[in-house]
Amino acid sequence: MTEKGGSMDPDAKALRSLALGYRLSQALYVFAELGIADALAAGPATAADLALKAGAHEGSLTRLLRLCRAMELVDELPDGTFELTARGTLVRTDVPGSQWPRVRAAGEAWQWDSWGRLLESVTTGRSAFEQHYGSNSFEYFDKTPGVGETMMGRTTEEARRRGAAIAEAFDFGSVRRVADIGGGRGAILGEILSRNQHLGGVLVDLPYAVAGAQEVLAGYGVAERCEVVAGDFRTDLPGEADVCLLSAVVHSWSDADSSALIGRCLDRYGKVLVVDEVVDTVQAPIEVLLKDLQLMVFSDGRHRSLEEYRQMFAAAGARLASSAPIGKNELLMEGVPAS
């Protein structure tokens, strides 16, 4: 449908942009994967120079760069060279707030292929990733060296912010040892232990996830107070502790699996701190709803409301003793035995 003068109906234009947005996403991924932003860090360069550095075809790269100009990642100067913009600088790997890990992960095959099978998740109620790869994403990353590296780098940076907020929101004064279950490379535990000199900790996650944890913990100066265990927390909860932390873990699992995990952690350690996004998806903004679909595509997890978490604690034989905000849509929820 067109309006007078031949202009496209606004709704039709919006729908077309949404339908074709995947092409922009893939172009941005290639820009990141080829390291173009890093190659332009020293100043303007020709497409020929960039193609040589990136191992790309000059003519094809030129066409990509012109789309990137339209995306305001680069400027094309009168002499034919390309220059990085402020937006494009955020795709460098060496700047504060770099978006390179997120941009690159968005275009990697495991992510791209899984979202391409969204229809399977919606029609079957099962994770598209698991249907395609035959295992959940965590097991796949653990069995496929290097594939999860980009994601782990991104989540480690997010964990630093979350760890500092947890340390501020919860009083660890009477705690002797914290078990961080599914804690990745230990940035959250590092933040907590560095602010509580009396604390010890145990970090538990799959081998690929804890690779590099010793270096992260050493960077916080707490490595000697923290035990790192490479293992599957679904089958084993090692180490002694009097508080268990499940940060950005529960949202990746079904209600039944999450309740079972909380119950096992409660039996093992006596107290559980669940940190996660807590949202009501009925009126949620698009970014929250996209994250909810991401959880559906890659696992059996989903976003939950506070009441749904309360019910999950009850199913685990626990009660929600307290909750405190630690970030946008994020709560720290303290679970203790129901009795």
Rounded distance between C-alpha atoms, residue 235 and residue 251, angstroms: 18
219 has a pLDDT exceeding 70: yes
Report the mean per-residue pLDDT for the chain: 92
Percent of the chain with pLDDT over 70: 96
258 domain residue, yes or no: yes
Encode pLDDT of 141-179 as tens digits. 888 877 766 666 667 777 888 999 999 999 999 999 999
Question: What single DSSP character describes residue 197?
Answer: T
**Joined tokens for residue 53:** 């550095």
Task: Output the pTM of the full model.
Answer: 0.86
User: Which of 100, 122, 141 corresponds to the end of one domain?
Assistant: 100
Alpha helices (H) along 149-227: 149-169, 187-195, 207-210, 213-219
Q: Are 184 and 209 in contact (CB under 8 A)?
A: yes
Same domain for 159 and 249?
yes
Q: What is the mean pLDDT of residues 287-303?
A: 93
37 domain residue, yes or no: yes
Encode pLDDT of 51-84 as tens digits. 999 999 999 999 999 999 999 999 999 999 999 9
Structural domain boundaries enclosing 58? 4-100
**Joined tokens for residue 259:** 């309740």
Q: Over the range 36-74, which residues count as b (16 or more CB within 10 Å of their CB) and which as e?
A: bbbbbeeebbebeebbeebebeeeebbebbebbbeeebb
**Closest by CA position to 193, among listed 153, 229, 166:** 166
**Closest by CA position to 324, among listed 288, 276, 285:** 276
Read off the CATH number of the domain in which 13 is found.
1.10.10.10
Same domain for 64 and 168?
no
Classify 322 as helix, strand or coil: strand
Classify 9 as helix, strand or coil: coil
Same domain for 93 and 189?
no
Same domain for 188 and 285?
yes
Task: Provide the pLDDT for residue 154.
Answer: 65
Read off the CATH number of the domain in which 328 is found.
3.40.50.150
114 domain residue, yes or no: no
Q: Which residues have C-beta within 8 Å of that of residue 264, sequence separation ≥ 6? A: 237
**Burial (0-12, 13-18, 19+ Cβ within 10 Å), 87:** middle
State residue 318 phi and psi, 5-degree precision: -125, 170
Encode pLDDT of 238-273 as tens digits. 888 999 999 999 999 999 999 999 999 999 999 999
Query: Total structural domains in the chain?
Result: 2
Q: Are 288 and 279 in contact (CB under 8 A)?
A: yes
**Closest by CA position to 182, among listed 132, 123, 141, 224:** 141
140 has a pLDDT exceeding 80: yes
